[in-house]
Amino acid sequence: MTRWIIFILVYIALGFYVIQALKTIAKQPWWSYLYIIVSFAVMVNFIYQFTVGDDTSRVLNAPKSYAFGFLLTILTFNIITIIFLFSEDLYRITSGIYHKIYGVDKEFGLPARRRFLSLIALGVASIPFGALLYGMYKGKYNFKVLKYTLEFDDLPDGFDGYQITQISDIHSGSFDDRKMIEYGVNLINKQKSDVLLFTGDMVNNMTSEMLPWADLFSTLHAKDGLYSVLGNHDYGDYIPWETEELKKQNLEDLKALQKKMGFDLLLNEHRYLQKGEDKIALVGVENWGKGGFKKAGDLKKAASQINENDFKILMSHDPSHWEMEVIKDSYHYHLTLSGHTHGMQFGIEIPGWIKWSPVKWRYPYWAGIYKEMGQFINVNRGFGFLGYPGRVGIWPEITVITLRKKALT
């Protein structure tokens, strides 16, 4: 209860500050009234969804996600506005003190708030405000197909031109638009790749989240099959369970559902992809992540029955595994496929110019292709979304990678 009281008081205080800017730029009071109504409605909805709504458990369902999304939008608008106004207030207070000490008028008073600075504050704040709303309305299903060609000296001849489609982080428990998910699934199939690889997080927490969407994802196809690994969310670790047996059964149900949908789930094991006499070792590990994430992945076990000289593709959900273990392993993993970061679902990307997201401060390898010690990794930005029900600048991704034999020079 105490935390809700503190939240309400802080929220109201931030809103009061923003109202000062609105009063400065607009003589009509209805702007302030509109802001108060919207801000109050967002606060009440957030508190309702997380206290007495239809689902008061820790499961992050669609109503809760949108309540959080709208709250994030308002808070972002408030905080950016306040940064400008607080800077001005420091000047106003300093000026008031100076005039009291050295001025003719010994009465302390603050200079009037400058209208143009309030206009700038509200104008700048409106940019992320609009972007976050757009991200919830359109951005989360703005699927992008990103294509890469990677060259290798030792790629088996039969795999020259071999095409891989990678998807990751479906997070089916967050979906709310069947038509757009159908569009995304069809877009995957349109790539007509040789193999389809899914790198974890099919659900947010529970297998039941995937049931309404399983028929759509069961239509995925590739000539050489569909393969998958588990992500940190697939284990059900982020919600309470009545018994440990129910949690374990949830994971077993997810494994069975993936098999029913046509995926070959790799649990610290390998498969060989074959083209004539040539082959590639496809290795899949369970989740392995730094910073408190589950470390069920066992690279040694997964690769125990393959040859050191095999061309290897590794599926590992969390890119920190590549950073911490894979590139240092005695085996050379030519290509690792990961996901997990979502690119934080927020950032700025202009191909060839800039690629930035706050998530880079936690994950050095957070989106796209990287190369270290002669080994590649692709970090997929994710097909779905989690928490904030949208995407801004970092769009949902379908990766298509073409393997090429490097020409002799």
Per-residue pLDDT of the chain (409 residues; tens, 9 = 90+): 788 999 999 899 888 878 877 877 767 777 888 999 999 999 999 999 988 766 656 677 788 999 999 999 999 999 998 887 776 666 555 665 555 566 555 554 444 556 667 778 788 889 999 999 999 999 999 999 999 999 999 999 999 999 999 999 999 999 999 999 999 999 999 999 999 999 999 999 999 999 999 999 999 999 999 999 999 999 999 999 999 999 999 999 999 999 999 999 999 999 999 999 999 999 999 999 998 899 999 999 999 999 999 999 999 999 999 999 999 999 999 999 999 999 999 999 988 889 999 999 999 999 999 999 999 999 999 999 999 999 999 999 999 999 999 887 6
Six-digit token string for 301? 């076990």
pLDDT given at position 95:
60
d(CA 404, CA 229): 25
What would the two tokens of residue 160 be?
Answer: 């020259």
User: What confidence score (pLDDT) does residue 48 get?
Assistant: 92
Q: Which pLDDT score is estimated for 62?
A: 83
Distance CA 374, CA 150 (A): 12
What is the pLDDT at residue 63? 87
pLDDT of residue 16: 85
> What is the identity of the amino acid at 247?
K
Q: Measured in whole angstroms, how far is the alpha carbon of residue 212 from the centre of its chain?
A: 22
Element (H, E) at 152: strand 144-152
- Could you report the per-residue pLDDT of 8-26, keeping only the tens digit for each? 998 998 888 788 778 777 6
Q: Please state, in angstroms and rounded to a whole number, the distance separating the CA atoms of residues 309 and 290.
A: 28
pLDDT at site 89: 61
- Structural domain boundaries of the chain? 2-137, 141-405
Q: Which amino acid is at 330?
A: S
Q: Are 396 and 385 in contact (CB under 8 A)?
A: yes
Per CATH, the homologous superfamily of domain 141-405 is Metallo-dependent phosphatases (3.60.21.10)
Q: Which residue has the tokens 């108060």?
A: 36
Q: What is the pLDDT of residues 62-112, one digit of tens each?
A: 889 999 999 999 999 999 988 877 766 665 556 655 555 665 555 544 445
